[in-house]
A and B are shown apart, each in its own frame.
Chain A
């Protein structure tokens, strides 16, 4: 059991927190048909981090976050610029920008051979959830021991703060968010400031993606922004219930995914563990698949499917 505390508790909590946070924001992204913003932003986090490493020479968390944040800002600005100045369709503009910036990141990484410093493309994609070890977590009593708690991996506190911030944002901005998601013209007419809300939503997505990137890699972030919310959308017509469903789905896939990746191979006789981030992403996809097949509101008209 001490093993669990030391090796698994922190990754599990981090995975759950990230999943819940992403799924919460994902509800609005899916409704607004902006799902791929999360995809674009998590791709450009890598170049930002590489650039900040090349400039500052450290892998300090703050420098990395700032680098990734700047990269995200540059990306969003470039997408808008190309969309409006070049009159390019928005998904194509997005494709142009994020692939180019990602390519730049990979090039910078290989050119400077920074791969030696635990910074590589694979890490960026799958994250290192398993490496979040709590060395002082030797016994349950450690949970109440301030000295042991101080040794918790810093990623835990970071994702917790981000989760709290996103939760506050959604609660405070609930009405403008909802109105803007369904009818932005109406939102503008009642002074709900859809543009400001949009911008804040994108900023929240960026912050979440960047905080999560460090802890769990980008793949889980993209999956969690989209799949739980999309599955929840097929379960109900009520937005409040949809958010609740998405949280349940996120929780199930995070916990089950982590357990399956860590202990699943052992059950069938292999002494190895699989990528937890990948497993969580796969499971949430499985949930979406089930929702697509059996969700009560899966049809376009939103009603109950015909009995046929």
Chain B
């Protein structure tokens, strides 16, 4: 279950949580290479230690808003090999969309509560460290909270499901067209139809793509 030992960086401003996580991980044979209280120290630690995975609290000093989220995005951009597990007292679908933008790999987003189920938490962390994705059931609940959307995926045609699968892999429309041997125009039509069936309003194209991908991944 625990697999090979991971090298972990923890960024969490509450000492009690930082220590608790460090102990839990250490007891299971993982190595916490750094445990820091803010985003700046996090980026420095990641740069220095190149861990397998970083656990990042969203709200950290100085403003206690979304420092962790921004740091997580920076890590994903600058250190693609480092997995990032963002955890937070709250789960916002918006933040999930932000975080999963681009190719969703080596990234996770969990409620802090989930640490209570220790083994599950460690497993999720391991998955992220290995390049997988983890999304809190709460996010899925928020996105699919609409009963209207629950069965939405079922209404997709097989071709649309194929397209959505490729979207979820982070491919562009052009790449999808090449893979499926169809024209870019046809891909666009499929994409539009997918968005319509999933009930995604045309407010923000990028977010729609990501949300559709998340819905696919969680289905």
Indicate whether A and B interact.
Answer: no
- Chain B interface (Cβ < 8 Å from any Cβ of A): none
